[in-house]
Each structure stands twice: as C-alpha cells, then as structure tokens.
Amino acid sequence: MSTTRRIFLRNSALAMFGVGTTPLWLQRALYAGAPAPRKKILVAIFQRGAADGLNIVVPHAEKPYYELRPTIAVPRPTRAAEHREDSAIDLDGFFGLHPSLAPLKPIWEDGRLAIVHAAGSPDPTRSHFDAQDFMESGTPGRKATADGWMNRALPPESGDASCLRAVSIGPVLPRILRGVNPAVAVQSLGDFQVKDAQAAGALETLYADSSDPLLHATAHETFEAVSLLQAVQKRPYQPANGANYPKGRLGDSLRQIAQLIKATVGVELAFADVGGWDHHVNEVGPRASVGQLAARLTEFGQALAAFWTDLGDCMQDVALVTMSEFGRTARENGDRGTDHGHANCMFVMGGAIRGGKVYGRWPGLAREQLYEGRDLALTTDFRDVLAALISSHLGNPDVRKIFPGYAPRPSNFV
Amino acid sequence: MAFILLGRMNPGAVAIALTAATICLMPAVPAYSKKKPAAGAPFREPLAEDQKTVQALNRLTFGPRPGDEQHVRAMGLKKWIDLQLHPEWIAENPVLGAKLEPLDSLNMSTARMLESYPSPALVKAMVDGQIPFPDDPEKRRMVQRLVERYERKANSGKTEEPTAARLPDLLTAGQLHTFRTGSAQQKLDVLNSLSPDRREQVLDVIPQPLRLQLLPLATPELRRLLQSNAGPQAMVAQDLVEAKLYRAVYSNRQLQEVLADFWFNHFNVFLDKGVDHYLVTSYERDVIHPHAFSKFEDLLRATAQSPAMLFYLDNWESAGPAAPAGRRQKRGLNENYGRELLELHTMGVDGGYTQKDVTEVARCFTGWTIRQPRRVAEFEFNPRMHDDGEKVVLGVRIPAGGGIQDGYKVLHLLAHHPSTAHYISRQLAVRFVADDPPESLVDRMAATFLHKDGDLRAVMKTMLSSPEFWSLGAFRSKVKSPLEMVASSLRALDADVDFGFGLGNQLTQLGQPLYRKAEPTGYSNSSQEWVNSAGLLARMNYSLALVNNKIPGVKVSADQSAAVTLGSPEFQRK
C-alpha cells in the first residue's frame, strides 16, 4: 500500500470510529510501523451452468473432437489472417484457447496462467444443483456436509481477526462460503451500509441484543464490515495500469475484489460467480467468435485480464482459480448445443503460479476413452487443484480436514 | 420491547396497528431457545391458543394485517383454515380487482400479447411484412411509433435511445420552461394539453426522474404510457410482477396465493429465456394458479404441456434422432426436461432413478412441442419428432408405437411414485413447517398423497392437522423470503400500493427478482438461503425506504421507529 493511501485510510477510519472504538485488528493494520507479513489471497470464480470446457480449452490436435462436433467445434489454429479471429489460439501444439479468450494469452506467455484439463468432480451426477452443491461443499457424493470448502479453508486466526477475511460478491452468501467462520456477502461496496445513521444504531443494538443466534451472528459480521467498507469507500475506485473491466456481473465482481485487496482490509478469500453457461441450444453462432458461448467467454477473458492488470505487483500474493460444476457432452446434440457431461477445465492464475502449461493427464476423446461413452473422462479431482492452492499458496496444511474423506494428490503448479 | 408503529393515525387505528405489531413481533418462547432439547422434542411441544393464531397467519398468509388476529379468533381457527383451503368460498377483495384491472396483458392469450406488446424482433418482422400489424388502433399507433424509433435508430447508426435533447423540438418555450421548473401537476397539465401524437412523442423521450415524478399523479392509462418507454415488451414482465405483489398484499384468498408462489417456484421457469417472456403470463394464470388444490398429476401434466416449460427446458426442440423430423432437421434428443422432471418436479434427486431413466423419459417426451412459439404458442404433439421405439422407465415397459401416450404414461407413473409422494410432501413441509421437518410428519403427508391419488388439498389438510405444524419446533423457526418480508411489511402497515414496479426493484435488491430465477431449482424453501450480510442490509434499507415513503408507488403512514421494527430480527422470522 502506498503511503498516501495508508494515511488516508488511517485518517478516515479513525475519524469514523474514534480511536477508542477502533477494532484492535484495524488499529494493528493502520498503525503497523513495519508492514506485517502479507496475507496470501485466494480468489475463486464459479462458472454456474456447466461451461463447455472442450470449446474453452480446445484439444485441436484431437481428431475425434472435430468428428464429435461437426458444427460447433472451434477450428484449428491458423496463420491465415482472415480466419485467425475464429480459430483456436494455440497454446502448446495440442490445446488452444477459444478465440474470445485472447486477452488471457499474454498472461499465459508470462507463465502465470496454468490450465488443468479433464478436471472436476468425480461424482457422476449430471444435475446442476447437486454438482454445484458438491463442488461448493468439497465433498462430492456427500450431501450432509453443512458448510463449504472455502469456509473451512480459512487459515486459523487467533482473536481479533478482520471481518472481511472471506467475502463473496453477490446478493446471497453462496454455499461455498457458509460455515462457522465469518463470511460476508457484499452486493456492491458502495451500497454496503444502512442509509440512516440513527436507524443503523438502533438496528445494530436490536441485533446485538437478540437471542436469535443465526440473525445475531450475521448482523454482527454485517455491521463490522459496514464500518470497514465505509472507510475504504471514501474515494471512487480507479483501476490501476489502465485496466478495463468489461460490463457485466463478473467484471463488476472482480473490480470490487481488486479494490478490497488493494485496500488491505484483511481479505484472504474472495468468491464471485457468473452464470449463463448452460448452452443446450445454439451454443456457437455462425462463426466461433460469435454466439452465446463466445459472448460469455469474451466477458470472462476480459474480466480476468483486467483483474491481472489492475492488481499488478499485488498478484504476487494472489491466486485465482476457476471452476464449473461439470463439463458438457463431447458430442454436440441435435440443437447445435451440448448436454450435461463430466470433466471440465480449470484456470489458475497468479504471480506465484507455474503457468504456461496445461496440466493433467489427457484421457482422449476416442469412443472407448469417453466417460460413459459420452463425456470427457476425469483425470484430476478438483480437490487436488484446490488443495495445492490451499496448502502451498494460503499456507494452510490441514487439507485433509478441508476435504474430509479425501487424500489430495500433490500438484506442482503452485 | 415497545414497538410504536404508527404516528399520524387516529387512536383507534394506532391500537389496531399496535396489535399488528404484536402479532408480527411477538417475543414468544423462541424456537431457537439456547437450551437444546432432545431431537424432535420441540415438534411435540404444543403452542398456546394465541400462538396458534399467529402461526396460522404467519405461515398460511403473506403476514397479518392490523385486525387479522381478532378476525381469525372471532371466526374460529378451524373455520378460517377450512375457508383458506377452499378459496372459491371466499369473496375476493374488490380492491384487488381494481388494482389488477389496468394490467391488461394478464388476461390476454399469448398470441394477442405478442401482437399487443411486441418485442423489437417482432416489430422488425412487422416492418418486413412477415406478420401483420395489430388491428386495435391504439396498439397500431404504438407499433408505428416503435417502427419510427427503429428507423431513427437504423438511420442515425447509433444504438442510443432518443433522449431529452429532443424535447425542444417537441415543446414550446413556455412548455419547456414548465417541464424544467414547474410542479409535477403543472407538468402533467402540459402533457394533457398536447395532441395524442405529440404527447406520445414527448413521452418517448422524457428522462427517468421526470417519469417517476409524474407516475403517482397520472391516470392508469397515462401511467402505462409512461412506463412502456423501455419498450412495450417490458410491460408484460411488469404486469406479472405487479400482479404478484397485489395478490400477495390484497387477496383474501391468501393460502391460494402462498401456494401459487410455492408451486411456481417448484415448477420454476425463467422469464428472460427468449420467448418465455411471453409465455409466463399464461403459465401462471392457466397452469399454476388454478391447480393449487388439484390432483398433483393434473398440475404436473399442465406444466408438462405448457409452452413456458417446454421452451424453458428445451423439450420443444427434442426429437427422436431416427424420427422423420429429427433426421431431416438434424435434430436430436434433448434430456434437459427429462432430467429436471425426475429430479426437481417429481422424485427428487435421491428418488432412485438412473441416467438411463433420464434418457428413456426424454425419449418418451420427444414430439411434445410448441406450435409456432412466436405466433400462436400452444402445446402440440408432433408425431414426426417422436421417437416411437420401445422404452423402459423405472423398470416399466412402454411399448413401441405409443405416440403422445408415452408422455402421459410417464407422468402418471411419476405422479403416483412413492418417491414423488415423499419428495413433494417434504418440499411442502420445508416451506410451511420447518427447515428440517420431522420425518414422521413427511411420512404421514406422503401416505395421504399416495392414498388420496395425489390430492394436494388432502396433503395440506394432513399437514395442517398435525401436531408438528402447531408445535414450538415450528413456531417462528423460519426466516421470511424477501417476497414474504416485503408483502408482510406492506400488510402490517396497511400500505397503499398504487403501482408496483418500485417494489419489484426492491425485491431484486433483496435477492429475489420475481420470475427471474434462472435455474430450474427455483429459490430454496430453506431459511439459510436468505440469511447473509448483503440480504440483511438490504432488508434494513428497504424498511427505511418504505417507512419514509421513498419507494415509488407505495404510501404508508408510519412513525420513523417503524423502520427499525420492520428491520428488526423479530420481523425477519415467521
């Protein structure tokens, strides 16, 4: 954090709380002479609706890919200028990015973007609801799990911790962040307050005195976060390095997450989701770079790239991972779309990520290689990817507790 | 705790309102008492008589109005419930009829709605001569204005809508001056003095704040013109949202409305998926609403044949790969409806079916499609799309050549399956009794379901005569959904809702945009869904906006402290 920003934060926060009432952890954060050891941050993005991994990271050297998808495959990479925008962007001679993900290519070339293909949940369900639930609880096949893996992944902290350690951008707190550790859902940083100071005080007292444990606890987290975010929000946010977030939910969410990270308010886990990936009909337009999937990917690629640019050096401490509940059928269906499938691809981006490589064993798309004769088979459990980030990046070694009943296999991309 | 709700009312009214506050906020023995009794015990502890009335009003209505508690007590709880179970015996509130009357899209056939409130694509089709202009002169003029706008846009090459910058071309200097500095009434007078054509041109371009300022004073007719600026198709969605709110707040047939909300959510469809924009009106009116107390199979069949569901879950395009239409148009099987039918509509995900069953069910429903979805939009069975081979569903053989009967057989099989009886009963118990209802109650409801041929009124009766429903375990154990929170606050304050779109926007802020849950799961019936910091803050801010009369179209007279009451933890429970 720059000196001016630190002073500004200190002044505004103190003006708001008065010295005596400033929470201890905030005092520590604001007065720390030498910078405290910086917290590592994990950002998780959920693509709800089952994104079509085979058209996102395209196995362009696989012949069966083109046989299975005669009308919706992304064409092989080409040097011909007139077709370049509608062809896969080659990554390693075998895989290529969907053309609408061009903004991610420079990060790949920097070696800070890794891809894990044929990854996902081993549970065979093809229900959006169940599969999302399993990916958020971190316990595929076990519905009784009450909390989410991100909540469990929060490293232990003694005493007076920031109320914004775990944040979700959106109107409801998602399953992935529910649990015993405090987590806050924020729809928009600017509107995160009670719009009448007097009523706010009265309500805060009512909830503090309430014997309703659920609402009491939620309100406690809420009012703490309100105070802190008001300190952050004194000035309109200007993304750095010319970063340009796309319009739409994901761009808005990542911009606000970047703002929170740069304000050093103690965020360690952040979550955002983006829907619209369930393309049973007309997934691809007349060319690969137009149509429903291309539109979703344009926003996705631009949002991730803007986040990367905006955070700049801060990305040393940040890792971002993407997931989607399952992949889609290897074969296109009768409506130029795809149905619910199995394995998918995950993106991992960060300053400490060994990127520029597609990880995971590729199972192939020949008929006998497909899962249940129809879907990309799974070779990497999503928990392996997450466990690597939680242990090596967040420094929380207790991954067996975070993914009960599972022994994650080591990954080497962090 | 003292809750002084209303300031500017006569003493009698204040007394009534205070009673309302007591009803809503009764600090009775909470279900979440700190001492945790043995599992199941709270569901065996009966409620006191007063609590029973509160429980009935909290769960079977959208919240008590001032005087409701006395009304129920005077009538007798048993009789009141019996009436709610037979809505046709209850005279409807004339206020509701008056509120619904101007919302003309609600009573239109889909075909007529498409013509009267055309989307930009339809306007273009009219311009291109593919479909005729509407007959009704007023609608015709509206379409012509849309065509002009469309052409203006096409000519200028810009995508922006015409703006207030055009006002000086349309108004005299004096009129313009009034528009800038006059009172709302003076501005309205200017509008009313214009010729119909000029008035509509002006309405096309006036800025949003002015629109909001004029709405409360406008006649219903002018109000629709003011609101339809975003495009006539937006009115279809707005009528739906307004009607749902009006019914929740004003209907005397409260249980029917609560159940309509439950069943719409159970058989969720998404307004913003393509032509579903025009199909949801009929879906709610003709499919969901009339079946709140019907046999489950009738409701299920109505949803299966509704254009809204056929479109939403893609079944209308699903064809047997070997069927003539499948081969010719290179269409194939689409499993989306088959899967959600089993998982969400009937058996539940643990109901005991396989992926193979999903595929077989999908094959049975090939050919269940929509005749001209963008013109007529009616259910049709197209034998040329149907996979006419043999199928086996849940071990039951469905012989080849059954045609449309295949689908009927599947629906009958599912509607009478024990898994369905259990799943539906549990969903109802979660909504009406507790987030984690006792299994013994669910089993008894399921037994009624099976025994009474899926009679939903009988299932409700079993639930409403159970000790579990009237227990401390159930009492005030649920957190209101945003819709319930908004409707109950309007009812508690006896609010006058003049138009509903402001409230619709509030519901979006609160995390429950009406008719716009994209996933087929609908919103969760469980309290957890709604307890989080963003939602809690939004509820507090909604309460402030309501009490301060800051929500367009809504008037209340209440003291400032009412905002705190509505935002309090007690008011979030039901």
Q: Which H, E and C letters describe chain A, residue by residue? A: CCHHHHHHHHHHHHHHHCHHHCCHHHHHHHHCCCCCCCCCEEEEEEECCCCCHHHHEEECCCHHHHHHCCCCCCCCCCCCHHHHCCCCEECCCCEEECHHHHHHHHHHHCCCEEEEEEEECCCCCCCHHHHHHHHHHCCCCCCCCCCCHHHHHCCCCCCCCCCCCEEEECCCCCHHHCCCCCCEEECCHHHCCCCCHHHHHHHHHHHHHCCCHHHHHHHHHHHHHHHHHHHHCCCCCCCCCCCCCCCCHHHHHHHHHHHHHHCCCCCCEEEEEECCCCCCCCCCCCCCCCCHHHHHHHHHHHHHHHHHHHHHHHHHHEEEEEEECCCECCCCCCCCCCCECCCEEEEEEECCCCCCEEECCCCCCCHHHCECCCECCCCEEHHHHHHHHHHHHCCCCCHHHHCCCCCCCCCCCC
How far apart CA B574 and CA B568 sit, in angstroms, is 12
Q: How many residues does chain B have?
A: 574
Structure confidence at residue B155 (pLDDT): 60
Burial of A157: CB neighbours in 10 Å, binned 0-12, 13-18, 19+: middle
Subunit contact A212:B537, Cβ cutoff 8 A: no
Does residue B549 come out as left (phi exceeding 0), alpha (psi in the -120 to 50 range) or beta? Answer: left
Does B406 lie in the same domain as B535? no
CA distances from A394 to A311, A351, B98, B406 (A): 18, 13, 60, 55
Does B6 lie in the same domain as B67? yes
Structure confidence at residue A20 (pLDDT): 40
Tokens 């609880």 belong to A137
Structure confidence at residue B152 (pLDDT): 67
Long-range pairs for B546-553: beta carbons < 8 A, 24 or more residues apart: B546/B489, B546/B490, B546/B493, B546/B495, B547/B493, B551/B502, B551/B503, B551/B506, B552/B212, B552/B215, B552/B216, B552/B499, B552/B501, B552/B502, B553/B215, B553/B216, B553/B497, B553/B498, B553/B499, B553/B500, B553/B501, B553/B502, B553/B503
> Which candidate, B21, B68, B52, places its Cα nearest to that of B474?
B52
Residue B525 has pLDDT above 70, yes or no: yes
Q: B10 pLDDT band (50/70/90 cuts)?
A: very low
Residue B262 has pLDDT above 50, yes or no: yes
Subunit contact A335:B528, Cβ cutoff 8 A: no
Judging contacts by C-beta atoms under 8 Å, the chain B residues touching residue A216 are: 569
How far apart CA A80 and CA A85 sit, in angstroms, is 10
Subunit contact B317:A335, Cβ cutoff 8 A: yes
> Which candidate, A40, A32, A30, A15, places its Cα nearest to that of A265?
A30
Judging contacts by C-beta atoms under 8 Å, the chain A residues touching residue B567 are: 199, 203, 206
Does B392 lie in the same domain as B338? yes
How far apart CA B56 and CA B463 sit, in angstroms, is 12
Subunit contact B355:A280, Cβ cutoff 8 A: no
Which of the pair, B430 or B155, is modelled with greater confidence?
A: B430
Please report whether residue B462 resides in a domain: no
Q: What is the pLDDT of residues B304-343, one digit of tens each?
A: 999 999 999 989 999 998 898 877 766 689 898 999 999 9
Among chain A residues, the shortest Cα distance to B508 is held by: A171
Structure confidence at residue B29 (pLDDT): 38
Please report whether residue B286 resides in a domain: yes
Please report whether residue B411 resides in a domain: yes
Residue B137 host element (H or E) = helix B137-156
Residue B1 has pLDDT above 50, yes or no: no
The mean of the pLDDT values for chain B is 88
Does residue B140 come out as left (phi exceeding 0), alpha (psi in the -120 to 50 range) or beta? Answer: alpha
Does B177 lie in the same domain as B86? no
Q: B26 pLDDT band (50/70/90 cuts)?
A: very low
Contact in structure between A237 and A227 (CB atoms under 8 Å):
no
Which of the pair, B135 or B543, is modelled with greater confidence?
A: B543
Please report whether residue B464 resides in a domain: no
The mean of the pLDDT values for chain A is 89
Structure confidence at residue B162 (pLDDT): 52
Tokens 């569903």 belong to B393
Contact partners, residue A387, CB within 8 Å, separation at least 6? A399, A402, A403, A408, A411
Which of the pair, B14 or A375, is modelled with greater confidence?
A: A375
Subunit contact A194:B532, Cβ cutoff 8 A: no
Judging contacts by C-beta atoms under 8 Å, the chain B residues touching residue A215 are: 479, 531, 536, 569, 572-573
Cross-chain CB nearest to B568 (options A126, A206, A218): A206
Distance of residue B44 Cα from the nearest chain A Cα, in angstroms: 21
Phi, psi (5° rounding) for residue A55? Answer: -100, 0
Please report whether residue B65 resides in a domain: yes
Please report how the helices B418-432 and B439-451 are oriented relative to each other, as an axis angle in degrees rounded to 10.
130
What count of Cα atoms within 13 Å lies in the side-chain half-sphere of residue A38? 15
Please report whether residue B63 resides in a domain: yes
Cross-chain CB nearest to B532 (options A193, A218, A372): A218
Substitution target in B533, B541, B564, B573 with the highest count of A β-carbons within 10 Å is: B533
Cross-chain CB nearest to A185 (options B331, B358, B534): B534
Structure confidence at residue A18 (pLDDT): 39
Residues 462-501 of B with CB under 8 A from A: 479
Alpha helices in B267-294 (DSSP H): 276-282
Structure confidence at residue B16 (pLDDT): 38
**What tokens does B137 get?**
């002169």
Q: Give the residue from B408, B433, B458 where a domain finishes.
A: B433
Tokens 């009523």 belong to A199
Please report whether residue B42 resides in a domain: yes
Residue B571 has pLDDT above 80, yes or no: yes
Subunit contact A173:B534, Cβ cutoff 8 A: yes
Contact partners, residue B542, CB within 8 Å, separation at least 6? B485, B486, B489, B506, B509, B510, B551, B566
How far apart CA A304 and CA A313 sit, in angstroms, is 15
Cα angle: A399, vertex A401, A402; to 5 degrees: 60
Does B108 lie in the same domain as B81? no
Q: Does A187 touch chain B (CB under 8 A)?
A: yes
Distance of residue B167 Cα from the nearest chain A Cα, in angstroms: 30
Q: B221 pLDDT band (50/70/90 cuts)?
A: confident
Residue B161 has pLDDT above 90, yes or no: no
Q: B519 pLDDT band (50/70/90 cuts)?
A: confident
Distance of residue B323 Cα from the nearest chain A Cα, in angstroms: 12
User: How many structural domains is chain B composed of?
Assistant: 3
What count of Cα atoms within 13 Å lies in the side-chain half-sphere of residue B120? 11
How far apart CA B399 and CA B393 sit, in angstroms, is 11
Q: B134 pLDDT band (50/70/90 cuts)?
A: confident
Torsion angle of C-alpha atoms B401, B402, B406, B408, degrees rounded to 10: 170
Q: What is the pLDDT of residues A134-190, one digit of tens each?
A: 999 999 988 778 789 999 999 887 666 788 999 999 887 899 998 888 888 898 898
Please report whether residue B545 resides in a domain: yes
Structure confidence at residue B63 (pLDDT): 98
Distance of residue A137 Cα from the nearest chain B Cα, in angstroms: 15
Subunit contact A196:B531, Cβ cutoff 8 A: no
Structure confidence at residue B545 (pLDDT): 97
Q: Does B563 touch chain A (CB under 8 A)?
A: yes
Does B479 lie in the same domain as B393? no
Does B341 lie in the same domain as B219? no
Q: Does B327 touch chain A (CB under 8 A)?
A: no
Average pLDDT (B10-14) is 38
Residue B23 has pLDDT above 50, yes or no: no
Three-state secondary-structure class, residue B392: strand
Q: How many residues does chain A have?
A: 414
Structure confidence at residue B145 (pLDDT): 76
Structure confidence at residue B330 (pLDDT): 60
Subunit contact B564:A195, Cβ cutoff 8 A: no
Judging contacts by C-beta atoms under 8 Å, the chain A residues touching residue B518 are: 275-276
Q: Does A180 touch chain B (CB under 8 A)?
A: no
Does B182 lie in the same domain as B253? no
Judging contacts by C-beta atoms under 8 Å, the chain B residues touching residue A233 are: none
Subunit contact A172:B534, Cβ cutoff 8 A: yes
Report how many Cβ contacts below 8 Å link chain A to chain B: 149
Cross-chain CB nearest to A130 (options B333, B349, B537): B349
Cα angle: B97, vertex B101, B105; to 5 degrees: 130
Among chain B residues, the shortest Cα distance to A221 is held by: B533
Does B33 lie in the same domain as B17? yes
Q: Give the residue from B433, B462, B484 where a domain finishes.
A: B433
- Residues in chain A predicted with pLDDT less than 70, given as ranges, are 1-37, 158-160
As a whole number of Å, the CA-based R_g of chain A is: 22
Q: What is the pLDDT of residues B336-377, one digit of tens each?
A: 899 999 999 999 999 999 999 999 999 999 999 999 998 899
Subunit contact A187:B479, Cβ cutoff 8 A: no
Distance of residue A42 Cα from the nearest chain B Cα, in angstroms: 21
Q: Does B21 touch chain A (CB under 8 A)?
A: no
Predicted ipTM beyond 0.95 = no
Q: What is the pLDDT of residues B58-105, one digit of tens each?
A: 999 999 999 999 999 999 999 999 999 999 999 999 999 999 999 999
Three-state secondary-structure class, residue B14: helix
Structure confidence at residue B40 (pLDDT): 65
Among chain A residues, the shortest Cα distance to B273 is held by: A276
How far apart CA A388 and CA A382 sit, in angstroms, is 10
Domain with B520 in it: 1-91+236-294+470-574
How far apart CA A305 and CA A239 sit, in angstroms, is 12
Q: Does A292 touch chain B (CB under 8 A)?
A: no
Does B338 lie in the same domain as B308? yes
Does B551 lie in the same domain as B489? yes
Q: Does A211 touch chain B (CB under 8 A)?
A: yes
Q: What is the pLDDT of residues A82-126, one digit of tens each?
A: 999 999 999 999 999 999 999 999 999 999 999 999 999 999 988
Does B55 lie in the same domain as B127? no
